[in-house]
Amino acid sequence: MCGIVGYVGQREAADVLLDGLSRLEYRGYDSAGIAVFENEIIKVAKSKGRLADLQAKMQKEGKPSGHAGIGHTRWATHGEPSDRNSHPHGGGNVTLVHNGIIENYKKLKEFLLSKGRKFESDTDTEVIAQLLDYYYEEHHGNPVEAIVKTLKELEGSYALGIVFADFPDRVFAMRKESPLIVGIGENECFIASDMTAILKYTKNYYLLEPGEIAVLSRQGAKVYNLHYQKIEKELKTADWDVSAAEKGGYEHYMLKEIHEQPESIKKTITPRIENGLPNLEECGITPEKLLEFNKIHIVACGTAMHAGMVGKYVIEKLAKISVNVDIASEFRYREPLVGEGDLVIVISQSGETADSLAALRLSKELGAKTLAIVNAKGSSIAREADMLIYTHAGPEIAVASTKAYMVQIAVMYLFAFELALANKKIDETECRRLTALLQGTPDKISEILEHKEMTQLIASELITADSLLYIGRGLDYALSMEGSLKLKEISYIHSESYAAGELKHGTISLITENMPVIAVATQQNLFDKTISNIKEVKARGARVVLVSRESYQPEKDVADFKFGLPDYEDLLMPMLAVVPLQLIAYYTAVLKGTDVDKPRNLAKSVTVE
């Protein structure tokens, strides 16, 4: 869950590395560091804290000057955040940066200690550096042979950027599980965990496959396999530019990404609609294939799992097919009843989520077909799934996901519509009607974004709360789960979501005087029941925020605050109602003074279990 970057070329490497790290800091910000060849000597600068702390340190102590180097921004796994545990880590001739986890590092460390090696940190990463240097000496200074030998010893996930003291004009890289790309410019090359780090310099890149080793120089990049055989790689081109990964005048990336949701929906669904009907053939999905599946499993983590919950309700309502939704980290360890005739849908913004990737691989082993819904092109989940739907959210920089969630549920709607039509649970006329309504959601969302003042008022009422509840029924319950997650992850206020009908089964005991309860009530067939539940918490002293249709005028004993939504089809209301929930979380965090885009202890892409 760290970010790594590397550079070889004519520019000042430190400037390129720091710029790249600033764009990767959403992947981790416990510490940061760079290593640059200065007069053919590796100079390291690193510091606990944000990238700004490293930059301040270098202003006092000096910034390394040279044209080749590596950099790292960390989300701690082994060893507390500190200067000594910050990357890069060295061992003799070797200095490297690492994203991932080495599972057998203790065993390797014991071996290296027995050989007289000394360690300066508590990290698993230093073990890689020391082992690589050990084999580098054994193989008489051949970097690639030493890397191959080392990789055969490592267990776990990793992406590595490496420099060797004897090769001041080279950067070496490799990956297993953890993401890594190789950028190709004019007389310069890059490595990065994410394309956003290098878009300022090039749009051309190679995707490294697991077990491939890249050697970068000013002349270009050479890629080898574990047999030291050179591999010819397909040069790819990114389809968005650096402006898409910048704030564009907004105070925070999160606010910008909330406002980008209407356009992101259009980009995601428009290419998949033909003559008014869903058409997912370019994703490997045909009506005939959809008839093969008896049961559907949706597997994801965090916000993506909440998108899966919406998908479950919609698929079961329209297509009448049973759907299980699993947290990916639990799925693989409960011996899931998955096999031939089943479809497993894996949802992941990054396409590199470790637990989701493991769930996909297990599903394939058990004989199920797999469908990936991902945003990041060329990611591991995208490459390994049987079928693939790319979402077109563009880069999402804020750790708290907004537009990625929105396009994930948009895709789930399209999939549900086509599945229901293929199974003859709805006719073509109804499918066209629903598809047209889905196409109309961007305009409705834009309308909501123009009237967000009430969310700021609501946020001002929440900032003193120690704890609060989100409640809803049906699709509103699935939505309340996402609203609660957004609030807690960026404002640090304890928040939980509950099915409104479950309040009487224990949770209502938590209600105290003036405790905030955010109630989502958009489903007309469940509306009266939800209002009854709201009255129950109101009678016990709760201050209620109601998110409902503008046309509903609540009685005084129902809500203290109300955010009104445009009237729309019940089935599609989650796409509208999530917007005020996102904004309430955002403005609450802003008023509390937290780091909205980089909340504590969190990273954007969870590439470790």
Strands 181-185 and 171-176 turn out to be unpaired
Instruction: Specify the DSSP element, H or E, that contains 188.
Output: strand 188-192
Strands 156-164 and 369-374 turn out to be unpaired
Gyration radius of the chain's alpha carbons: 25
Yes or no: say if 121 and 77 are a contact pair by the CB < 8 Å rule. no
Contact partners, residue 363, CB within 8 Å, separation at least 6 = 297, 299, 336, 338, 342, 344, 346, 370
Which of 2, 189, 301, 431 is labelled catalytic?
A: 2
CA 139 from chain center: how many Å? 39
Q: Which residue from 260, 347, 354, 277 is spatially nearest to 305, judged by alpha carbons? A: 347
CA 495 from chain center: how many Å? 21
Tokens of 367: 């004989």
Strands 494-499 and 467-472 turn out to be parallel
Looking at the DSSP bridge assignments, the partners of residue 372 are 346, 388
CA-to-CA distance for 178 and 2, rounded, in angstroms?
Answer: 10
Active site residue 2: yes
Burial of residue 230, with CB atoms counted within 10 A of its CB: 0-12 exposed, 13-18 middle, 19 or more buried = exposed
Burial of residue 204, with CB atoms counted within 10 A of its CB: 0-12 exposed, 13-18 middle, 19 or more buried = middle
Looking at the DSSP bridge assignments, the partners of residue 373 are 347, 389
CA-to-CA distance for 319 and 232, rounded, in angstroms?
Answer: 45
Q: Where are the beta strands (DSSP E) in 259-368?
A: 273-274, 277-278, 295-300, 323-327, 342-348
Tokens of 447: 């309308």
**493: helix, coil or strand?**
coil
Active site residue 604: yes
Distances in whole angstroms, Cα of residue 82 to Cα of each of 32, 49, 440, 510 = 10, 8, 50, 39
The per-residue DSSP string of 301-313 comes to -HHHHHHHHHHHH
CA-to-CA distance for 564 and 548, rounded, in angstroms?
Answer: 5
Which of 109, 312, 369, 604 is labelled catalytic?
A: 604
Residues acting as catalytic residues: 2, 604
